[in-house]
Every structure is written in structure tokens, then in C-alpha cells.
Structure 1
Amino acid sequence: MVFSSAAFMFYFLPLTILLYHMVPDRMKNAVLLAVSLFFYGFGEPVYILIMLLSIFIDYFNGIFIEKFRHRKNLSKVFLILSITANLGLLGFFKYADFFIGNTNLFFGTDRELLSVALPIGISFFTFQTMSYSIDVYRGEVKAQKNLITFGTYVSMFPQLIAGPIVIYKDVEKQLEKRQTDLSHLTEGMHRFILGLGKKVLLANSIGALWEQVKMIPVEELTVVTAWIGAAAFSLQIYFDFSGYSDMAIGLGKLFGFDFLENFNYPFISRSVTEFWRRWHMSLSKWFRNYLYFPLGGNRKGRWITLRNIAVVWMLTGFWHGASWNYVFWGMYFAVVLILEKTLLRKFLEKSGKLFSRVYTLPVLLVSFVIFALEDLSHLSGYLKVMAGKGALMDEFSLYLMDRYALLFLLLLLFSTPWPYRRYLQFLDRRGRSQTVVSAMVLLGIFLLSAAYIVDGAYNPFLYFRF
């Protein structure tokens, strides 16, 4: 079940909100845990067992890590057990076939693939539970003694399947006591509907273009069409994923949680370094706090810093998927970020906004093509066309420019903070009528989105498989 589905919007969510707000405060975590497990097992009930196993492993390891903190070696044993169990589950379900397949390829063996289905959101909740164990070990949080409360943290459906990655210490107090008043409900629905519109009306619309372009054989692809396709996918994944994050943050508010932001208009960045401060911020924060800094960060000299950047980005790429294109995607960013840190930073700081953004956007478009195409031969051919191999344009290129020009302009506009700021300014000027105006705008977005969903139109969710 995904947020942009009729089953979620018209059945699951209304019933969950009604039930949640009917029960007394002491039962709210239990209700949230129960509905989250139902949500998680809606497609594959057997994977509720994986979720429960993850909850039990880290619940008990957290308790033992804290209990034996005065015996550092024993406490570290339970931390290692927690990390090993989490990475073991992630490795088995997400990466086992990748390693078996590549072993067969490189060594000529013929081992059968496991072909196990990937539990949804396993990459996200694995990182959440690992961060909890690490923070308990560091003494930054106390171990959660209430199993229901801990289970609620791990399985919370608003951010379960695609983040944002919620760190336990950021919601520790909210798990114990939180407000669910009218202002939270209003703000939550506002944020959810805006995210729904971004995903359904914007991401899906431009995604249809990318679906057309990626099906073209590279021998028939022109340079202009390839760049149009790259721009289309870049905008699709931004509005898809940031829209989902907005929906998750809005849903969190409906149940009294304040999740941290996950996107901050990344396409206005003046460097790739800045881009990663604005894109999927919860993932960047996780790798920074739980890998980059423990490796030494930038405190142990230039070469160690560059090594740490390379390691972090190799693993960031591999975290996204069990395919070589994700590894190459991580390596690509490692190279670009190292170049910016060592050679380009001062130049970009001194250059004007226009030049730095003209540099940044093509670099990002290439990265999203690497991210999108898992078939390496297709990827290689596509990148060669983007580099200038083949005809410049054809009739299909002209058709795409004519057909999608207005949509591109609209998406580029909404990828900046300007429209939302103007919207807020407009509401401020409306005085008492601002509530009516805002409600009408949100109702329009919701009805259009709902009509799109009920119609059964193109409605993928790109981060569902991660």
C-alpha cells in the first residue's frame, strides 16, 4: 500500500485517524503499532515477521547495551550483535542475489538465485534501528524499556517505506507524550495534500515522458532527446520523493509527531556539495553521523578525508540498490565531491550564481541517468548520446519540446521556493479569508489528485523498492 492509492486515502487513513483519536492517550502507541503492522503486511503478510524480528532484536540489544555500559567490552558485544543482525537481514533480502549472480559471472559457477522478495522499506527501518543501538551505546539516549513504544518507533507507517529516516533521539520525547490538537491536524492535512499533489500531478505527469524516452533504442536516440529524458527523470524523482516526504511529514503531524525536513529545494544549489545538503537530508545526516564522523571525518588529514568521502559514497550508492549502476552512481558523486573539495570549491564560491548553477545542473542530470538505468549497456549507450554521439535532434525531439515545454516550465518553477513564498504572502494579505482561500486550493489539489488515482493512470512510486 502506498500513500497515493485509493485504498490508503479512502479507507486506511480515515479509519486509522478515527481509531487513533478515539482511544485514550495511554493506548495511542499500541494503536499506531497495530495499524503500522497491518500497513506493512498489506501486500506481503509474511514480512510482518521480519518487522517483528527487527523490533525484538534491537529492543533487547538496546537494553543489554545500556545494562552493561560499565563493562565496555560486553556492551560492545551487544552493539555488534545488533548491527550484525540488522545488516544480515538487509544483506540477505536485498543483496544476496546480487552477490550470487556476480559470483556466477566472475567465477563461472552456477549457483541458483534465492529470488526472495524485498521487504518494503527494509533499507529505511534498518538504518533507524541501527542508529538507535549506536546512540544507546554512545550514551546519547536511554534504552527504551517499553516494547510497544519501541515497536511504534520502528514500524511507524508514515515514514516506514521510504523515510525520512527518523532518528530515535529526535522523537524520543514525542513517543512518550505528544499533542494531537486541531492545529496539528490542520497542518498535517495541509502538508499531506501538498505532497500528494507534487507526487500525483507533477511527478507522474513528467514521468510519462521519461517512460517514452528510456524505451527508445540508443541507436535511435538523439542528443536533445537524451537530455530532455534526463531532465524529465530528474524532476520526476524529485517531485515523487519530496512529495512522498511531504506526505510522511504531514501524516506524522496527524499523530502528533514532528519529523525533520528531508528536502530543501535542491535544484537551486550552486554546487553538488550544496545539493547533498538539500536532497534526502535524513540519509545524508545518517551517513555523516554514523559513518563519516566515526571514520575520522575531516579531522585526520587530507588523504583520510578523501578516503572517507569515497567510502561513504560507495556505500551510499550501494544502499540504494543491489545493482552496479547504484555503485557507479555513488562513485560518480564521490569523484565530483572530491573534485569540489580539492579544486573547485573556491572557484565556485567566487563565480556568480548563474555560472555555478549552470555547472551544477548538468552534473546532476548525468547522475540521475546513472541512477535510473540498471542495464549497464543501455546506460553506457545513453551517456554516450548525452556526450554528443549521434544526431542532434529529430522530429520526436521537436515533439517533446512542443508537448512538454509548459510542464517543464511549471516544474522548474515549483522546484524553487518562489511559488510557495508567494502563496504564503497572498494568504497573509487575505486576512480573515485566508483559511477559506487555503481550503479551496487544497480541496482543488486533492480532488484533482484523487481523480487521477481513481482513473488508474500512470502512478509509480520510485523509492518503493529501496
Structure 2
Amino acid sequence: MSFGSPVFIFFYLPIFFAIYLAAPAGWRNGLLRNGLLMLASLLFYWVDAGALCWILVASVVVNQIIAVYIADTSIEARRTALLCVGVTLNLLPLIYYKYWVFLMQSMPASLVGLLSGIGIPVENILLPAGISFFTFQGISYIVDVYRRDVRPTQSMVDFGMYHTLFPQLIAGPIVRYAEVQHQIRKRWSSLTDIHTGIVLFCLGLGCKIIIADNAGFVADKVFLSPAATMTLGDAWLGIGAYTLQIFFDFSGYSTMAIGLGRMLGFRFPQNFEQPYRSQSITEFWRRWHMTLSRWFRDYLYIPLGGNRAGPARTYVNLAIVFALCGLWHGAAVTFLIWGLWHGLLLVLERLLQHRFGWSPSGLAGWALTLLLVMIGWVFFRAPTIDAALSYLSTMAGGGRVGLSDAIWLIMTPNRITFLIVGAVIALSAYNVARLELEDGLGRWRLAAINAGALVVFVYSLSLIATNGFNPFIYFRF
């Protein structure tokens, strides 16, 4: 079930909140209310996942049991063994459902035939929605318990509610237990919280439907164009549109998730901080998909040694982390190259800083960073390496100047307007997801925000009714 689908907006959401907000907040310190939220979240997931919902349920049970055993064990070797078992059990479903086919493509045909002969599927494996996100969330939980950063909850229902929480279940942000542990049992949604959450949901929906989907339409047309007919203008327009699409698609989802969480009494971490304003690749990764960046930093980069073992080891660690970051996004060589591209850029930035004391900054740093990010997006979007290289060749001047007739035909005044508006918003200093509707905001300003959110919501619904709903890009991750 998607946040932008009519079923979610007109049926699931109002029915759920009507029941949830009517439930007494003091039900056994919130245990029954958490049970209601867990069941509603499992229903949300089951609508799309069907029988594969068992993976999420198993993740709840396994991670909670292992976390409790780790916390109750004082023998360090046993704690480490339990952690290793827990991490392995989390990764096995992810490896099978997301990477098995990819791995089989690099194995000898005889081995593939053997696996197929004994009943292990080697193709047409359905990817469970959000498995990358809830896998990383489960690993962070047991690792934090192992490090004694948090104490596990003693209730399977409480952990199950946290682990299946539907606003952040499918595409993040990756919410760590430590960030919401004090809100598990004791949380309260004031009228201001509910109001803010509704406005954030409306604005996030607009980012997705109005800007991302229109930008995506242009990007899809360009990337699907034959290489022989693609012009220089087509290529730059296409990657510019995709640059806006992936940002507003994913940040729009995160804003909607933050809004829904706010209505439930949770304060989710921010996931984006205007990344296209970055003046270096290092800064970009502090602003883009921040919960994933922090996850890789805290659970992979630092355990590998971080920057504590000298420059050479730091560069190797960065390459490893971003190679895995690329593969996390998808089981394809193009995603691996995208990750290695960003890893290489980060290594170069650190090398220049270490050797020459120079780092990109200012207007030139911003322009260079945005250009390098857009080059990376070509590999992220293209279906194959050859297609990406051909596209980059056209961007570098391999085609005639201007737009082709086919692309001119789709550039309606509405799409041009939405691309311009999207570019302005993406490059502005204001982050929509940080909106706060406080009492001292002012009557007229509050009225303007409410009216704007309503207009965005109604217009988004009209576009959904006309064009249908396109799934969020990060649903496949």
C-alpha cells in the first residue's frame, strides 16, 4: 500500500486514525495501543507483500529474542556469538530475495543448474517491499543492545510496533530504537502535532505527485530515447529532470513519513537537508539520505577503523562502504559503479585536503558538486553500463545542440513550470520537512500555510485521478 494511493488516503488512513486516536492513551501504559498500531502496520504491509509478510514477522521475533539474550548475558564471548547469529539471520533473507539472482549470474552454469535441481529458485524471486530498510533497522537494534547503548524493551509487542511502524516501514527514514525509545510507551499527540503532521503529509504528497512525477515523465522519455536521436539538450534535460525526480520522490516520501509519525506522537529524524546546496561531495552525504549515511558510518565505517588508521586505510574503508552503499540500492553493476563513483570522489576530496589543504567551496564548489552528483545519477538511472556511457557521451557533446522534436512535444507549460519550481525549491535554504506550526506563528501566516497545503493536496489528488499513481522510486530498495 502506498501513501499516495486512493485506498490509503481515503480508507486506510482515516479509519486507522479514527480508531487509534479514539483509543484511551493510558491503556496499560500504551501496550494495547502499541498492539493496535502493530496490527495496523502489519495489515499495511500485508496488502502489498501478501505471504511474504512472514519475513517481517520473523524479523520482529528473531531480533527481539536475540536482543534480550544479549542484554541478559554477561559472558562476552556469548554476547559476541549472539550478535553474529543475529546479524547473519537478518542478512540471509536480504541476500536471498535481493541479491540471489545477481549472484547466480556470476556463478558457473553447472552450479546454477544444481541449485535449481534441488529446488532452490534461481530466477523470478519476488523482492519484499522495504526489506533493505527493516533489515538495517533490525541490525541497528541488536548492535546497539550489544554495545550497551540501549536496553531492549521487554515486550515483544512494543518492539514489534517499533519495527513494523508503517510510516517508515517501506522506505525509511531508518529510525533507530535509541531515537524513539522514550516514545514507545509514553507519547502524546497534541492538536498542534496532528495539525503539523497533516500539513507535512500534504506537502510531501505534493513533492511526489506534482514535482517528482512530472520530472520523472520527462526523465523517462529522454532515457528511453534511442541513442541515435538523443541530442545534447535532451541528455542534459533528462538528467536534470531525474536529479529533481529522485530528490522530490524520496524526500517527499520522507516528509510524509515524518508527518504521519508526528500525528502518532513520534519525532522521526530528518532524512534530507537540501542536499543540492552542498559545496562538496562530503557535504552532500551529510545532507542526502542522512539516516542511511549515519547507519553506514556507525555500523560499518567506524567498525572498519574509520579514519583512525591513517589516510590509506581511510580511503580503503570509504571505498568498501560506498561499494556496499551502491549495492544496497540495487543488485546491479550500475548501482555498484554509482557507489564506487561517490567513494572515489570522497577519497579524492580527502586526499586533496590532506596533501594540499584544499577542499571545494563557494559557488565553484557548489557547481562542481552538483555536476558530479548528476554524472553519478546517470549510472543510477541507466539500465546498463553501456547505456550510461552512451548517455554520458551525449552529455559531453556527442549529439547536436537543442532538443529533439519528440522531447519538445512533451515539454508542456505545466511541466516546464513544475521543473522550474522544483529547481527553485531544491536549491533554496528552506527544508519543507522541518515545518513547525507553533502557536506564535501568526494568524495570517498560519492561514497561508493551511491554504497552500490544501491546494497542494487537492491538486495532487486531481493528478492521481487523472494519471494514476506511480510507485515511489525507493520502494524497490
TM-score interval, normalised by the smaller of the two chains: over 0.9
CA offset digits 1:235-280 (Å, max 9, x no partner): 0000000000000000001110000100000001111111110000
Give the 3-state SS of the residue equivalent to 2:240 in structure 1: helix
Q: Are 1:59 and 1:147, in contact at CA under 8 Å, matched by a contact in 2?
A: yes
Q: Cα 1:205–1:458, aligned 2, differ >3 Å: closer, same or farther?
A: farther
Distance 1:401 1:345, change over 3 A: farther
Verify the 8 A CA contact 2:326 2:339 in the aligned structure 1: yes
Q: Give the whole-Å Cα distance in 2 for the aligned partners of 1:347 and 1:414.
A: 35
- Deviation per residue, 1:12-42 (Å, 9 max, x gap): 1111111111222332101110000000010
Q: 1:268 aligns to what?
A: 277
Q: 1:352: Cα distance to partner?
A: 5.8
- What is the CA-CA distance between 1:401 and the residue it aligns to? 7.1
User: What's the counterpart of residue 22 of structure 1?
Assistant: 22
Most deviating of 97-106 and 272-281: 97-106
Residues 314-393 of structure 1: matches in 2 within 5 Å? 314-343=323-352, 353-393=362-402
SS in 2 for 1:252: helix
Find the aligned partners of 2:23 and 2:266 in 1 and give their Cα distance: 17
Q: SS state of the match for residue 211, structure 1?
A: helix
Please give the alpha-carbon distance, in whole angstroms, between the structure 2 residues aligned to 1:407 and 1:134.
43
Matched, 1:99 2:110: no
Q: Which residue, 297, 302, 310 being the options, matches 2:319?
A: 310
Moved over 4 A (4+): 104-112, 344-352, 397-405, 418-421, 427-430
Distance 2:357 2:390 in 1: 31
| Distance of 1:142 and 1:418 partners within structure 2 | 38
User: What is the identity, as a one-letter code, of the residue corresponding to 1:283?
Assistant: L
User: Normalization by structure 2: what TM-score?
Assistant: 0.91
Question: What is the CA–CA distance in structure 1 between the aligned matches of 2:301 and 2:255, rounded to whole Å?
Answer: 27
CA offset digits 1:96-119 (Å, max 9, x no partner) = 111012225799979652422111
**1:103 and 1:109 in contact (8 A); partners too:** no
1:226-237 to 2 correspondences below 5 Å:
226-237=235-246
Is residue 2:178 matched to residue 1:173?
no
Q: Determine the structure 1 residue equivalent to 2:127.
A: 118
Q: Tell me if 1:278 matches 2:306.
A: no
SS of alignment partner, residue 388 of structure 1: helix
Q: 1:74 to 1:204 in 2, by over 3 A?
A: same
Partner SS, residue 444 of structure 1:
helix
Question: What amino acid is the match of 2:198?
Answer: M
The alpha-carbon deviation at position 304 of structure 1 amounts to 0.8
| TM-score, normalisation: structure 1 | 0.93
* Cα deviation code 1:56-100 (max 9, x no counterpart): 1101100111111x2000111111111000011110111111101
Distance change (3 Å), C-alpha of 1:301 and 1:105: farther
> Which whole-Å deviations, capped at 9, do the CAs of 1:408-445 have from their partners, x for residues lacking one?
32111111335679x989x9999333333222111111
Match of 1:441 among 432, 452, 456: 452
Alignment gaps of 5+ in structure 2: 117-121
Counterparts of residues 87-166 of structure 1 (less than 5 Å): 87-104=91-108, 112=116, 113-166=122-175
1:328-356 deviation per Cα after TM superposition (whole angstroms, max 9, x unaligned)? 11111111111111126898967662211
Q: How does 1:184-333 map to 2 (within 5 A)?
A: 184-333=193-342
**More divergent stretch after superposition (429-438 vs 119-128):** 429-438
Structure 1's unaligned 5+ residue stretches are: none
Match of 1:66 in 2: 71
The AA in structure 2 aligned to 1:374 is P
Contact conserved, 1:104 with 1:110, CA < 8 A, in 2?
A: no
Q: Quick one: distance in 1 between partners of 2:403 and 2:176?
A: 50
C-alpha contact (below 8 Å) 1:204/1:460 kept by paired residues: no
Match of 1:78 among 79, 82, 89: 82
* Contact 2:171/2:474 (8 A) holds in 1: yes
Task: Check 1:24–1:349 CA distance in 2 against 1; reply closer, same or farther (3 A cut).
Answer: farther
Change (3 A) 1:156 1:366: same
Instruction: State the AA in 2 paired with 1:91.
Output: I
Query: Retained in 2: the 8 A contact 1:192–1:246?
Result: yes
Q: CA deviation at 1:375?
A: 2.2
Equivalent-residue separation in structure 1 for 2:151 and 2:431 (angstroms): 39
- Give the letter aligned to residue 90 of structure 1: L
Contact 2:49–2:129 (Cα < 8 Å) also in 1: no
- Whichever residue aligns with residue 216 of structure 2, its letter is G
> How many residue pairs are counted as aligned between the two chains?
464
Provide the aligned C-alpha RMSD in A.
2.6
Whole-angstrom distance in 1 between the partners of 2:18 and 2:159: 23
Q: How does 1:377-456 map to 2 (within 5 A)?
A: 377-396=386-405, 404-418=415-429, 431-456=442-467
